[in-house]
Amino acid sequence: MARAGFGSRRENERIISDGRVSINGRVAKLGDKADAQLDRIEIDGKPLSLDYEPPLYILLNKPRGVISSLDDELQQARTTVRDLIPHAGHLYPVGRLDKPSEGLMLMTNDGQIAHRLTHPRYEHEKVYEVELEGDISNEALDQWRRGVILDGRITAPAPIEILDRNKTKSRLRIVLREGRKRQIRRIAAGFGHPVHRLVRVKIGPLEIGDLQPGQWRSLTPQEVKLLHSATKEKSQRRRPGQNRK
């Protein structure tokens, strides 16, 4: 399904769990096996096609108010990241930014790259520039850097740099190697400093540069090479089942 352009592994698991996939007329379940050359696989009643498409890698600066999905699941005529890229073929977002957040997103049809960039096992850095309400204390920042309890377990250590701080606002540069739902917003609110603005500026080796909100561009050959090199190195360094030190 990833090869056919239906999204990352997690997104495809959700499609299967929703009962949208059938194998030889039977609704598929997670863990089912099928051979596209021998079995009749359908998604939403349409045959799965594995026609080859060359890999595409596009950087997008997602504006505030745009949802990071392929479709508006709520049918409310909301703008999606896919709407911003008038490019033929399958494309899906790598990772997510919530609707109020902004910044760098990678759009691709390469399921393997998408999986390696988003799975916590590979620990790819994502860098955010965040503006908080008020003057956050050094004590709160130190605790945040060490880790805080979120959803019953402690967050990974997070390097945090102070970009600017005064009585009305604090601007921080935060590096994450995990991606829990609305993680930065929830931690900041827990310290009493709600997020006013959140912009992702880097994913792995890819940086936003001078790309303006709503703009997009294809990766350069050098960036594609860096992306493949970085994901390959990470996957070799930490294999499934390997213990953390």
pLDDT digit string (tens) for 204-223? 899 999 999 999 999 999 99
Whether 238 has a pLDDT exceeding 60, the answer reads: no
Domains of the chain by start residue, with CATH: 9-47 (3.10.290.10), 57-121+205-237 (3.30.70.580), 125-203 (3.30.70.1560)
Q: Is the predicted pLDDT of residue 240 greater than 80, yes or no?
A: no
SS3 string of the chain?
A: CCCCCCCCHHHHHHHHHCCCEEECCEECCCCCCCCCCCCCEEECCEECCCCCCCCCEEEEEECCCCECCCCCCCCCCCCEHHHHCCCCCCCEEECCCCCCCEEEEEEECCHHHHHHHHCHHHCCCEEEEEEEECCCCHHHHHHHHHCCEECCEECCCCCEEEEEECCCEEEEEEEECCCCCCHHHHHHHHCCCCEEEEEEEEECCEECCCCCCCCEEECCHHHHHHHHHHHHHHHHHCCCCCCCC
Higher pLDDT, 52 or 212: 212
Average pLDDT, the chain: 86
Which pLDDT band holds residue 243 (cuts at 50, 70, 90)? Answer: very low
- Mean pLDDT, range 72-92, rounded to an integer: 84
Looking at residue 6, its pLDDT comes to 67
pLDDT digits (tens, 9 = 90+) for 10-26: 778 888 898 989 998 89
pTM of the model: 0.75
98 noted as active-site residue: yes
Q: Which of 83, 98, 135, 142 is labelled catalytic?
A: 98
Model confidence at 241: pLDDT above 60: no
